[in-house]
Structure 1
Amino acid sequence: MDFFKRISQQRMSAIFYMLMAIILIRICAIFIMGPMPQDAYYFFYAQHPSLSYFDHPPAIAWLIKASTTIFGKNIVAIKLGDSILSALTVLSVYLLARLFFLKNIAGKAVTLLLSTLMVSVLSLISTPDAPLLFFWTWTLYSLYRAIFEERRVYWLYSGVLMGLAFDSKYTAVFLPAGLILFLLISTKYRHRLFSPWPWLTIVIMVLVSAPVIIWNYENHFASFAFQGSKRLESVGSFELNPRFTLGLIGHQLALLIPVLFIFLLRGVYLSLKDWGQKRVFPEKKKFLLSFFLPIFLTFFLLSPIYWVKINWIMPAYISGIILIAASVKEKWIEYQVIFSFIIHLGLLAEILFYPFPIKSDDTWVGWRALWQRTEIYKQKYKADFVFSADSYKSSATLNLYSDSFVLGQNVIGEPALHFDYIGTNLSKLKGKCAIFIDSDPTFKNIARGEPNPAKLKPYFQSVNQLKPIIIFRNGKPVRKFLVYLCHLYNPFPLGKNPMSQIDRKHQLTFIKQKSTSYPYINLKK
């Protein structure tokens, strides 16, 4: 019997309603949750069309451009785009699971997936992982058709889908790696390595990835260097830090919910043990393992020496969940859904009432109020421009609301991710006055901060600290922003280019003479 029908019957009706409640919480959060800095930053991508971007490929910009074009330029539209694509990914996982199992087991796989915080993150926070997982899932679907059903046209589809996955996020390199690994370990299909089809698939992937490759070529391979060689340099230092591994385990337990994560590890271990004890091992299990183990093991092995972000392993869980779905008994699925329901109730309470303030800029609280207060300061002191210097978060999120463009930390000679590549001609700002917003996420009090930050001195003739912007929630201060009025900007202190502190090998295109204005469409609601 179909698993979805079973969970709607009397014995499991509570589980069914809990699962529906989890989905409803996600839908409600679309409309009541404020913008995350990631939403703002990738909207910034969409407002500056490009073949690719400094820190990520362009698919997330395509998604946000499409959603804001259809639903309007507002925060809800951004989150709707993410949520709709995530729902399509869940449907795609069901269709993929049906290739391996009957409806009952495929239903189990989707129930497990829907119960995770991973789906909530993908639905409510804009990241390149949303399009990546969509195209990743369809790539596996297409490769299955090509390999197990011997339908040659699907090799071509697989190449296109792999390319689109790479246009979403560089993690997609694990797709051709997984394909080659499977063909190497497969006794039945190894001969396909000597046919042109797998290699044609990879060639097509490269062709579809052309926007990313061309952008990197035109910009001295800045993005590849940022995501590749720079991180490899950090790994090369080889300083063991067990807390990184513990942090990764904790994050993955939260992302999948402990029941599923433990069963996933158990299921993969038993599969490998079974493979080691048998000469014959199902080819379809080898296929699923080939797209789980490489990415999962790579990042876990890196974790003692490098901080692995919570979302990097996400693609592995598509095939991993399908692999273990048949072995998870309904009792444990019940526990998984109950855990997830409780966690999502807590998430809803946090969004609505914010009982536990987040000591980080990665929050949805206070951005509109920050913009409103910043506008008051700008008008009162007749400042010519506003900028911030906390990577991208304050600048990007203020830009959601502001009619005039809020600049990044390249104003004071610091690398500013894709803010460095939009054609801002800083020399046009010489002699102007600015408002500098400096977030203090771990503030201890609401008093003024450092009177004259050293990083501002070389670029402005004088700096005066203004009253901090304090954001209150439930009568308590939850966010603090230091504010400085900066006079007479000099973009080239001591005759030096403000990018002189940055590795110019990778960011030679900082100041482009393409634009003297800052076109932007705000998201005022």
Structure 2
Amino acid sequence: MRDQAGDNRFIAYITANKWMAAAIGFIILLRFSFIGIMGAMPQDAYYYFYGQHFALSYFDHPPAIAWILRGFTDLFGRHVFVIKLADTLVTIGTLLAFYRLSRCFLPRKRAWNGFLLLYATLMITILSLVSTPDVPLLLFWSLSLLAVYRAVFEGRKAYWIWAGIAMGLAFDSKYTAIFLPAGAVLYLLLSRQHRHYLWSPWFFASILLFCITILPVVLWNVQNDFASFRFQSSGRVGGVEFHPLDVFGVIGHQAAILLPVLFFALLYYVYKLVRKYGWHVSHIPASQLFLLCFFIPIFGIFLVISPVYWVKINWMMPAYITGIIWISTWITVKYVRWQWICAVVVHLALAVEVIFYPVPIHSDDTMIGWSGLSEGVKALADEYPDDFIFSADDYKTSAMLNLYLGRMVYSRNVLGENALQFDFIGTDVNTLKGKNALFINSLTDVNDEVDELEFAEEDLAPYFRSVRPLPPIVVHQHGRVVRKFLVFRCMDYQPPLPGHDPRHVEK
């Protein structure tokens, strides 16, 4: 009864401002309609591909998103809307966990404001509609913080057990979750009031359960020469270059996913925090310090490294769970309204782009054109039924064709190059020796095919007796060309020389 009364008050709170209520209704409707309208993104297809080759973990990332997609598609079928429905339902879980967490720190109306700030963001739209490891990460991140709060601030010892399990599941989602136990230890070190938990048996039990829960990831890495750990650590160092202006790019894309009102409010309150407390961390109230220990390290580290390493749009997402709760202490409904004004403008623009595609995206990171490609390749496969099919970009074209065709489509490993997860599914390209192949090459710019033609001539030739072009697959939308894919028939495949393991070849 109390929960129902709270729900009614929340609805009354929203509908008190009819414009904001309409905006919220519009974005809810838009997000759910996108489940059926949007085509698959390459990330959807790649993590679906993970799940179709079930394993303890995977090369690029831990297994949680793959396991979720495998479960949903086994139950409801291999459909794009099923994949997006899975993302949406998990993200709804994240929102509910976020609200429960915010109520630990905020009175009801402030918690509502925090919830509305988060729900308006492009970040939630992305999480709801694009399969990435961040989808389960943010759910288990929020649940972990809720459990740690109950254990530390309320003294409920059993919650240390749940905290260890939830943190482990977050790590099974994405390696960024290492900031969870690190943040908990940081808070306990800085908090005189709660420091005694550092030598509590319940704290050690939590760490033990964390270690047990992440065993699938550890075992997979042990079995595969620590390939994933190396890729996500030393493998990343190769991308270090000094580009001081990149910090503005990071600020720009973070302002885009959070929307400017929320992002610059975060920066403003961080500035006020530094002005007020400086290095006197012990003066920060315990509840604020807890929230900051899971916000400032991630946000600060990625912002600091951005001039020397390109920080991706999703890397800071976990930080915003506690960051938003922290600033909701002071954010009034006036700024929530402005957040929703920005949200409507941004989501209207997104809807126009999804439906009419007025602004071409010169990248394979798009939902446009892939179903048209699959229809063209399906026709070619019927014409050349004994040919195997492959592509040689990072993973995108091969993964998309795997999803849409429901058959094995090979990747760069055919050419003896590093092929990410395609190298770890037990494929032996030597079994393809002597076969003919269809090579599909995606053009990121439909008007520029010079480089891709050169690639076909130079990089395919060593592995085939002959390579000849076939008519390209051209995808039209609203009377114009939106995607173009080059097609080559490659005769008599000769695999890389014995001992040439693509997993150890630099790209």
- For 1:73-152, list aligned pairs within 5 A: 73-152=78-157
Residue 426 (structure 2) pairs with residue 423 (structure 1): yes
- For 1:352-363, list aligned pairs within 5 A: 352-363=355-366
For residues 260-303 of structure 1, the C-alpha deviation after alignment (integer angstroms, 9 at most, x for no partner) is: 00011112222343334796431010000000011111111110
Equivalent residue number for residue 219 of structure 2:
214
Equivalent residue number for residue 5 of structure 1:
12
Residue 485 (structure 2) pairs with residue 478 (structure 1): no
Equivalent residue number for residue 264 of structure 1:
266
SS in 2 for 1:100: coil
Equivalent residue number for residue 458 of structure 1:
462
Is contact 2:59–2:420 with CA below 8 Å preserved after alignment?
Answer: yes
Cα distance in 1 for partners of 2:107, 2:398 equals 50
Is contact 1:446–1:480 with CA below 8 Å preserved after alignment?
Answer: no
Cα distance in 2 for partners of 1:419, 1:278 equals 47
Is contact 1:413–1:501 with CA below 8 Å preserved after alignment?
Answer: no
Is contact 1:491–1:498 with CA below 8 Å preserved after alignment?
Answer: no
Cα distance in 1 for partners of 2:504, 2:170 equals 34
SS in 1 for 2:484: strand
Cα distance in 2 for partners of 1:486, 1:281 equals 66
Is contact 1:468–1:480 with CA below 8 Å preserved after alignment?
Answer: yes
Is contact 1:109–1:322 with CA below 8 Å preserved after alignment?
Answer: yes
For residues 291-335 of structure 1, the C-alpha deviation after alignment (integer angstroms, 9 at most, x for no partner) is: 001111111111000011000000000000000012112111111
Cα distance in 2 for partners of 1:68, 1:59 equals 14
For residues 407-450 of structure 1, the C-alpha deviation after alignment (integer angstroms, 9 at most, x for no partner) is: 11100111111110111121111000000001110232579934
Equivalent residue number for residue 406 of structure 1:
409
SS in 1 for 2:457: coil
TM-score of the aligned structures, taking structure 1 as reference length: 0.91
Aligned-residue identity in percent: 47
Is contact 2:190–2:282 with CA below 8 Å preserved after alignment?
Answer: no
Equivalent residue number for residue 237 of structure 2:
232
For residues 469-519 of structure 1, the C-alpha deviation after alignment (integer angstroms, 9 at most, x for no partner) is: 1211222111111111100001135x5636286169xxxxxxxxxxxxxxx
RMSD of aligned alpha carbons: 1.9
Is contact 1:98–1:106 with CA below 8 Å preserved after alignment?
Answer: yes
For residues 364-408 of structure 1, the C-alpha deviation after alignment (integer angstroms, 9 at most, x for no partner) is: 111111111112223334552100001110001011121431111
Is contact 2:121–2:257 with CA below 8 Å preserved after alignment?
Answer: yes
Cα distance in 1 for partners of 2:383, 2:76 equals 35
Structure 1: segments with no counterpart, 5+ residues? 505-525
SS in 2 for 1:18: helix
Residue type of the partner of 1:455? D
Between the two proteins, the alignment pairs up a number of residues equal to 498
1:376 to 375, 379, 383: 379
Seen in structure 2, the aligned counterparts of structure 1 residues 194 and 452 have a Cα distance that, compared at 3 Å, is closer
Residue type of the partner of 2:121? T
For residues 231-288 of structure 1, the C-alpha deviation after alignment (integer angstroms, 9 at most, x for no partner) is: 13433xxx32023212111110100000000011112222343334796431010000
2:249 to 241, 247, 250: 247
Cα distance in 2 for partners of 1:435, 1:230 equals 31
Greater Cα offset, 100-109 or 187-196: 187-196
Seen in structure 2, the aligned counterparts of structure 1 residues 498 and 170 have a Cα distance that, compared at 3 Å, is closer
Cα distance in 1 for partners of 2:104, 2:347 equals 31
Residue 171 (structure 2) pairs with residue 166 (structure 1): yes
For residues 66-101 of structure 1, the C-alpha deviation after alignment (integer angstroms, 9 at most, x for no partner) is: 222333221111000000110111011000001111
Cα distance in 1 for partners of 2:67, 2:383 equals 38
SS in 1 for 2:453: coil
For residues 329-367 of structure 1, the C-alpha deviation after alignment (integer angstroms, 9 at most, x for no partner) is: 211111110110111011111111111121111111111
Structure 2: segments with no counterpart, 5+ residues? 1-5
Equivalent residue number for residue 56 of structure 1:
61
Equivalent residue number for residue 48 of structure 2:
43
Equivalent residue number for residue 512 of structure 1:
none
For residues 87-132 of structure 1, the C-alpha deviation after alignment (integer angstroms, 9 at most, x for no partner) is: 1110110000011111111101100000000000000000000100
Equivalent residue number for residue 186 of structure 2:
181
Cα distance in 2 for partners of 1:42, 1:139 equals 24
Is contact 2:190–2:281 with CA below 8 Å preserved after alignment?
Answer: no
Is contact 2:113–2:332 with CA below 8 Å preserved after alignment?
Answer: no
Is contact 1:296–1:313 with CA below 8 Å preserved after alignment?
Answer: yes
Is contact 1:268–1:324 with CA below 8 Å preserved after alignment?
Answer: no
Residue type of the partner of 2:14? I
Residue 308 (structure 2) pairs with residue 305 (structure 1): yes
TM-score of the aligned structures, taking structure 2 as reference length: 0.94
Residue 327 (structure 2) pairs with residue 324 (structure 1): yes
- For 1:380-399, list aligned pairs within 5 A: 380-399=383-402
